[in-house]
Amino acid sequence: MANRTPSRWLAGIFLSVSIAAVAAPNAQQLLEASDAMRNPDRPFKLTTTLIDFHGGRQTDEDDLTVYSKIDPDSGQYRSLIRFESPARDLGKLLLKSGLDLWFYDPSSQASVRISPQQRLLGQAANGDVVTVNWAHDYAASFAGEQDIPDGDRKLTHCYELALLARSEQATYRSIDLWLDVATQRPVKARFHAESGTVLKVAYFRRFQEELGAIRPTEVVIIDGLSPDWITVMRYSNYAWKEIPEAWMQRDYLARFSPN
């Protein structure tokens, strides 16, 4: 009898591991579902308002019009962003096409290649304002379940996903992403540099129906080192929009007109 007990004990461990493996959700599918909540699947436009706060005091604000459509070859979004305000930035453009990100200034009529990691305003990087399918840029693994406070300080039971960049062109080396177990909505994301340093933490808020789905219409981004430095990204004026292919070409930036 004593010789059989270890075998039964080991069998029980193997059974528990097998059950856990079967029960663990598919991380990549969860990431794809979260992407679908954040991003419409047809060409669209919206207004992104960036509001910067230091120590609870507003210090800056930008308004951008974002035009986005999916590249049928890569499955990733291409985006054209037009600066609407403040007046000093009116008419400036950002173009994300493939792995390239370009900035166009009408005053110089020059377009220059820029980094998605470069800050646009406050905690919002260039790569944060373009539409991105994380499932294309990151490989996801399941990191467990836990209860965390959401953007409204409400305790929410979440799946935790660990996202690792597939290439150096991704805006962040890795992302920790929490999704509401009940709805699969994004709740929180933590963004890391190559060194592992936490660059920023984001909370997804103000979910409402836009273009046929419930989507977050506000993201609160908190600096990883200075938590009193906060940038709020608000999305409004969602609309389906036929976007000419020419708009997604660098050579067309000087001729672009939103009308």
Q: Which fold has domain 28-255?
A: outer membrane lipoprotein receptor (LolB), chain A (2.50.20)
Tell me the C-alpha distance between 163 and 176, whole Å. 6
8 Å CB contact between 148 and 178? yes
**Planar angle of CA 45, 47, 50, nearest 5 degrees:** 140
Tell me what the pLDDT averaged over the chain comes to.
89
8 Å CB contact between 245 and 251? no
Tell me the C-alpha distance between 80 and 97, whole Å. 9
**Which pLDDT score, from 0 to 100, does residue 8 have?**
54
8 Å CB contact between 50 and 231? yes
What value does the mean pLDDT take over residues 238-256?
95
- Report residue 1's pLDDT band, with 50, 70 and 90 as the boundaries: very low
Give the Å distances, CA to CA, from 232 to 48, 50, 81, 88: 10, 6, 17, 21
Pairing between β-strand 186-192 and β-strand 155-165 as defined by DSSP bridges: unpaired
In the block, residue with structure tokens 């007990």: 5
**Which pLDDT score, from 0 to 100, does residue 6 have?**
52
Contacts of 120 (CB under 8 A, 6+ apart): 50, 62, 94, 126, 128, 129
What value does the mean pLDDT take over residues 135-158?
95
Give the domain ranges of the chain. Answer: 28-255
pLDDT digits (tens, 9 = 90+) for 17-48: 444 445 678 999 999 999 999 999 899 999 99
What value does the mean pLDDT take over residues 156-183?
94
pLDDT digits (tens, 9 = 90+) for 60-75: 999 999 999 998 888 8
Contacts of 179 (CB under 8 A, 6+ apart): 30, 34, 158, 159, 161, 185, 186, 187
The model scores a pTM over 0.85: yes
Contacts of 162 (CB under 8 A, 6+ apart): 27, 140, 141, 142, 143, 174, 175, 176, 177
**Which pLDDT score, from 0 to 100, does residue 9 have?**
47
What value does the mean pLDDT take over residues 200-223?
96
Give the Å distances, CA to CA, from 255 to 100, 109, 258: 19, 10, 10
